């Protein structure tokens, strides 16, 4: 997770809210931010928690190499339409 993503995530929610939403301790989330890596098992849950404002690709491009990877089908269709790709 790069600095831009950390800042973007910080404008959407707090580390405490992330911890509560994912069922982990705030200390665990703090470690993720410090190490700049969200564990794979939490990537989709985190994206869903923030209303998909941050995509799995943004969180872990090593696991989700394409921009639409991990997104629900309804959002994939919406993004294609927004980008003019009918």
Show the domains of the chain with their CATH numbers. 3-82 (1.10.260.40)
Tokens describing residue 4: 């831009």
Give me 58's structure tokens: 């943004």
- Asked if 65 and 57 touch (Cβ cutoff 8 Å), the reply is yes
Q: Above 60 in pLDDT, residue 17? A: yes
Which of 22-36, 43-57, 72-86 comes out lowest in average pLDDT? 72-86
Structure confidence by residue, pLDDT tens digits, 53-76: 999 999 999 999 999 999 999 888
CA 6, 81, 68, 66 dihedral sign is negative
Instruction: Average the pLDDT over 33-50 and give the result.
Output: 96
Q: How many CB atoms lie within 10 A of CB 41?
A: 8
The pTM (predicted TM-score) of the whole model is 0.84
Average pLDDT for 26-47: 96
């Amino acid at each position: 997770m790069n600095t831009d993503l950390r800042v973007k995530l910080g404008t959407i929610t707090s580390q405490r809210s992330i911890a509560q939403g994912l069922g982990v301790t705030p200390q665990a989330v703090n470690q993720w931010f410090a190490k700049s890596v969200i564990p794979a098992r939490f990537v989709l849950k985190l994206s869903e928690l923030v209303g998909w404002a941050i995509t799995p690709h943004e969180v872990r491009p090593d696991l989700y190499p394409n921009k639409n990877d991990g997104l629900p089908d309804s959002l994939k269709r919406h993004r294609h339409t927004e980008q003019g790709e009918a």
